[in-house]
Amino acid sequence: MYRIQDFDVKSELLQKHWELINVAYGSLVKKLKENENDTEDEFGFGITLFDQCYDIIFSQWREIYPKFVLHPIRDEVLALFLEAQTTDLKLKKPSKNTTKVYSVYYYVLQYFAIGIQPYHDYDEFPDLSLDRSDKSDDLNLLLYNIFETIWYELKLDDKTEEDIFDDKSEFYDLEVDFLSDFLSKCWNETKAKTNTNVIGILDEATACGITYSLDENKPLKDSDEILKNLI
């Protein structure tokens, strides 16, 4: 735990979230002091200052993300899943299979969104979604802004000649891993309460990610063949 009075923290955003980010901020300041005279070895080998700072931020991101982004929406997600699992589907065509299969989709690139739709061909189903596209209460985006603010306030863009989020791939993959596990646990917690015969299939909204089984909490192989036998 680092005390804010030990640093010249200018950003109001960082001051507001100091309890959350003090370890990241303090660790980066400490690393900068250690590297004042040696940011990179003579021939460019070894670990650069950017690498060291990136590792600190990525490690803190891993620790902060579940409690800052996911925990606050837990009740909303449980409510969505409860309504989905207990809503009586009105199908366009009768089905012999009594298992209800749902597509749960997510989007976390420009904004944060989760939605649910039946895989079945249906007539009526409520609009079930959690959408942060207006960005005013998007905690996912806020976390990016907080860490980006740290980067610029400490002038790490000048010191490393790089921006921390030029390549977001590792952060994105971590987000998806956390989100998939979180949604699976919420889905199965709800399923245990409703005791319904349902299956949840998780996909990225633009179909660029893997298909994931919420019921088994793992990537789903041969999903097309499995769904064909269920619908």
Give the C-alpha separation, 127 to 209, whole Å. 23
pLDDT tens, position by position, 183-231? 999 999 999 999 998 999 999 987 777 889 999 999 987 665 566 566 5
Give the C-alpha separation, 30 to 11, whole Å. 19
Q: Rounded to two decimals, what is the model's pTM?
A: 0.88
Residue ranges per domain, the chain? 4-230
Residue showing tokens 């670990």: 47
Give the C-alpha separation, 7 to 168, whole Å. 28
pLDDT tens, position by position, 82-124? 999 998 776 666 666 678 889 999 998 778 889 998 887 777 7
